[in-house]
Amino acid sequence: MAGFRGIDKAFFPIKNVSSVIEIFKHQLEKVSEPDLALLSIIVGAVENSLTCSRPNAPLQLCEPMEPSSLPTLEIHTVESLYNKFHAIIKSAVDPVVKTSREKVYATREIVKKVSDVVWNTLSRSYYKDRAHLQSLYSYLTGNKLDCFGVAFAVVAGCQVLGYSDVHLALSEDHAWVVFGQYGTETAEVTWHGKGNEDKRGQEIGKGVSARSWLYVNNKPVICTRAMEVAALVSAINPSLNTAHDAYEVALLQQELLWLLYDLGHLAKYPMAIGNLGDLEEISATAGRIPCDVLFKEAIASARQNYTNMHVYPYTYQGGYFYRNKMYEEAFESWANASDVIRKYNYSRDDEEIYKEFLEIANELIPHIMKVESSGFSANSILKKPQCFAHLLRFYDGICQWEEGSATPVLHIGWAKPLVNTISKFDADVRAKVNIICETAEDRIEQQHNFNNHSNGSTNCLNNNNYCVPKKQDLSPPGTDLINAIESKVNSAEE
Ligand SMILES: CC1(C)CN=C(N2CCN(c3ncnc4sc(CC(F)F)cc34)CC2)S1
């Protein structure tokens, strides 16, 4: 990997967002492949200077001194960190010999060695989930990285060594690398979750973990160099504290995401499109497509490229509808999210998505029911069979998620809000929902599709029809829940 090129020096000192955009544009359009270490150090330095309050510097309040100004970033700061990263990586692994005619591919040993050098230079103990630990700036100035940051650092390190075959693989809650002549070798390079032994060096789950959401049914986002730039931009964290974002950092992230979007590098990256949608909802960019279209594009990308095995595109959209009081649409998005999770088995590595569904079922939906049942508007969602159908599909997907899983999902804490919600719909509204039972054969076919990674979406919901597997198909926990609903609802009617 060429050292710090003169050409990059022309962009310094960095004083505003647009000069950062210029550097990224140059890296993405003018050089053979974007320099991950350089770009990560730059955005990390900018983020750190505006979000990690320093005692002797006045906290930058929300309004910038002038449009999108930034604290000056000098070239020597960036260059010394850049050279430090090269030195750390090259001290541990010999770079690819330049003169070699044939292409040299990474081996598992090399990937593991790069992961080891990053791993062994991290601070002994620090709060791993803290914000602003994702960039090489954090690694090089504080020896701290979060789990995504370690994976990114390994890919950036392999780029330094000249292994252009090593790429970042991303699920919705984990990151690892692919490498080799066909890009089919996989390796864990970082940890996941709390208290789990890391599996660094091993190839990606062949066993039971392969069926968990964590590995998205072997449909991860496999990054190109430019998509690795999109990942580092997505990982920019503008939060100053729980209540405020640093305005300039959010603006920088939004403009960089539009640059990557225009160059086509977000097309196969649903979460990055969703991140851009969230930023556009907060502050729409004039002349750009609206955020609701971005959320639809993220869903289309996940359906098109990842056989609809990703949940987050639907929860990005559902969150948008919820915040904008479009409750029927929110129910539909959440039911669609549930249609994804039902295809998986729940494993203990899936806590993040469990918390997501728990919040929707036990916080967001009950809040909607509360505000809707206070009013008596004729077009209240409580009068709409379609809403009832969406909710049944939502809950049923969680029940099916649990079926066949080693770890239970549902407990009594789920049943109370669930029964409360269902019983808010009058019998005449519920009666309008046609329950179409899938046959056991349908379920077997679905299972077959899952195993063969094909798009097994047999969900037959269209108007008020709602498909539910015949009751005897439900494993005990789900049946208990459905029984609990029925007994509660019946008693509510008496
Ligand atoms: C609908 C939501 C709750 C809103 N934000 C969500 N995010 C999901 C995770 N986010 C991400 N955004 C871009 N790329 C990645 S890669 C990854 C896994 C990690 F281990 F590498 C996570 C993630 C960004 C924020 S899902």
385 preceded by cis ω (within 30°)? no
Q: How far is the CA of 318 from the centre of ligand 1 (A)?
A: 15
Q: In whole angstroms, give the CA distance from residue 491 to residue 489.
A: 5
pLDDT at 144 over 90: yes
E strand or H helix at 436, and its extent?
A: strand 434-438
**pLDDT above 70: percentage of residues in the chain:** 86
pLDDT for position 65: 59
Instruction: Find out whether 228 and 167 touch, Cβ atoms under 8 Å.
Output: yes
Q: How far is the CA of 10 from the centre of ligand 1 (A)?
A: 34
Q: In whole angstroms, give the CA distance from residue 370 to residue 378.
A: 16
Q: Which of 93-107, 318-332, 384-398 is predicted least confidently?
A: 93-107
Query: Which residues surround ligand 1 with Cβ inside 6 Å?
Result: 147-148, 170, 173-175, 231, 234, 271-272, 275, 312, 315-316, 319
Pocket test for ligand 1, best of 150, 171, 216, 234 (most atoms within 8 A of CB): 234
**pLDDT tens string 348-365:** 999 999 999 999 999 999
Nearest CA to ligand 1 atom 9: 172
pLDDT for position 37: 98
Q: In whole angstroms, give the CA distance from residue 102 to residue 105.
A: 10
Q: Please indicate whether residue 457 or residue 78 has the higher confidence score (pLDDT).
A: 78
pLDDT for position 1: 46
pLDDT at 338 over 50: yes
Nearest CA to ligand 1 atom 20: 174
Q: Where do we find the tokens 């969406």?
A: 390
**pLDDT tens string 50-96:** 999 764 445 555 555 565 789 999 999 999 999 999 999 999 999 99
pLDDT at 254 over 50: yes
Long-range Cβ contact pairs of 17-23 (< 8 A, separation 24 or more): 17/68, 17/70, 17/248, 17/251, 17/252, 17/255, 18/68, 20/46, 20/70, 20/252, 20/256, 21/252, 21/255, 21/256, 21/259
pLDDT band at 3 (very low <50, low <70, confident <90, very high): low
